[in-house]
Amino acid sequence: MDKMHIEDLIAMSGGFKEGADVALIDISQAALDKALATITKNLDRMLSKERITEADKASTLDHITTFTDLQEGVKTADLVVEAATENIDLKLKIFQQIDQAAPAKAILASNTSSISLTRIAAATSRPEKVIGMHFMNPVPIMKLVEVIRGYSTSDEVTSQIMELSRQLGKSPVEVNDYPGFVANRILIPMINEAIYTLFEGVAGVTEIDTVMKLGMAHPMGPLQLADFIGLDVCLAICNVLYEGFGNPKYAPCPLLVNMVTAGKKGVKSGEGFYSYTHGTKELIVAETFR
């Protein structure tokens, strides 16, 4: 979800049930076309593995409608899931627009990985219906959904979102609204420390990732994972943690700041700690760190 356009939204209407109608909303038609192509590709992969039938594929695509107009897309929604980039001003603007356009009954959820749900909810007229649904990337594969309760989120809304997550085949975990929640409060400082380890010359890119993969059984090293997440996203979450707790241990590594400033954002830009412009899946350390 977070790989799509800056103003991505998913609005679900027709109730919280299997086969619900889905409105996919973006200000860019090109982004919507790309999203549908990705969904179709994923369905074809499932079809080839005989996990779904041709009828399942056709039914899934028939339930998706795309919109470039936010008001039109959410006007009959029971649930809206915002998936914009980790920018508080952008999210507040989007939630104000959704709040005005969506039915009063609609639950408003955010896929934010670190920003306060309480602050987002305060920008709406329905704080009790605002909740976090932090999907892990890649969404079709990862089971976890971090369900974040804001200060005013009701028990009923929390229960509905936990159940909906299970209906989607996910494993929801309820957490409270504090900077970074659980996943990124633990993950991002680890990534930041790995970057410090490189910055201070303790070891190289490959060595750091190999230690964590072979020694800690991580499927992906922290520097490769940072590239996959997006170094700009890692920096944004570092800053949320740093500002939220006021503790210098969460301050982003200067190397991370410099890389993002230079436009080296990882996979999305073609270079981070590794280079991704060579057209193969082989991990090649970026020239800067060789």
Catalytic (active-site) positions: 134
Dihedral of CA atoms 223, 225, 228, 232 in degrees, nearest 10, equals -60
Spatial separation of the C-alpha atoms in residues 170 and 130, rounded to whole Å:
20
Residue 271 carries which DSSP code? B
d(CA 74, CA 22): 10
CA-based torsion, 80, 84, 90, 91: positive or negative: positive
Cα separations (Å) of 118 from 21, 115, 176, 178?
Answer: 28, 9, 10, 9
* Residue in this structure with the two tokens 């059984």, named with its chain if needed: 217
Backbone φ and ψ for 238, nearest 5 degrees, come out as -55, -45
Distances in Å between the Cα of 86 and the Cα atoms of 117, 158, 226, 246, 282 are 12, 22, 15, 19, 29
